[in-house]
Structure 1
Amino acid sequence: MTKVAEIDNRIDELKRQLENVKGGKSEVYARIVGYYRSVANWNLGKSEEYGERVNFSELSHDTAMRIKTAEKPVKTEPVAIEAETEAIEINFAEKKMAMENGDVATYSFFFKETCPNCPPVKAVIDSVELEGTKINVDSSNGLTEAMNSSVYSAPTVILYNAEGSEIYRTGNADKLKSFLKVQSA
């Protein structure tokens, strides 16, 4: 009996100690470009990306990619890869033709107040006679709209045709200027 009582007392003591345990900050390391680094030392954008990462396993990666892209699995035959590359080139050519034909109807410009790259992109947008919306992603409504449009960085400009389909997307002022030069001519 004394043995059982000692064990019960020890269990009660350990339970009291467990209730008073104060946790400390854990150091999390993740692999970037071949080496491990503390996540605490990452910049804000990389830290956000870390929160969206999914650990790899054949099943989860395959399932996640299918859900994310909502497309059929990529075939690994060389012919399929060539066909896919060809489709991308045709798709870009179609978008370029749409631009040359003046099919760009509207735009959405996603920006932040503190973004150093946003003013040059805004200047390009302001120089073109297009109707559109400027969305500040610092606001909760703007952030929600950015997430709904799959915008993950500022600045981002999305150009749409008259039917509302996306034609072009960029965050680079020079690329936007190059793409819109037909429109301003």
Structure 2
Amino acid sequence: MSLPPMSREDFLTLSDERLGRECMEPTFELIRGKSPAVKAEVISQLSRGQQSLCMFRVMYDHSHKSANEYYAWISYMLAIPGYWDRVIEGIRFFETSGMLPLLEDTRKYLEDRNRRRGLEWGEAVLSDPDRDPELRQAIDGFYEQFQQTGPVTHAVIADYIRNHPEEYVELTD
């Protein structure tokens, strides 16, 4: 898979969040709207660092828009065998300290809630927090932490990318 071209100036000056997004956009163009088998095949062709960035970006890009989206996407990722583990592996790869405990705390809370209510991951819907005050309070708290942790995580990932450009971009002058 070819690396996206990027000017050295853009590489050095793009925001941390945008750098990660730009590095993954060619991959996202190949997998957007495709079957899980196609997505898995494309992602398997990436380096470990690219896979880690890809899984983080998929999780982050879908989860950051609202507390309800955070809840629904965490539940969705936990419903698909192996998906959550790949997201967690990606975050561990970049050694981001704040995001990992937050996601694990969210998972534990939701697992406990599902167990108490006899629910499966696939039963979660976007509007669940709107109908459950306890869930709303918990998810709002997790989401607030997610918003605070996001920029730090983006900074750690961008630092890694800037120290390993050959893995993510083809620099042009």
Q: Tell me whether the two structures share a fold, i.e. TM-score over 0.5.
A: no
Q: TM class by shorter-chain length?
A: under 0.3
Compare relative contact order (CA 8 Å, sep 6+) and give the higher one, 1 or 2: 2
Q: Tell me the TM-score normalised to structure 2 length.
A: 0.24
Higher Cα Rg: structure 1 or 2? Answer: 1
The structure with more strand, counted as a fraction of residues:
1
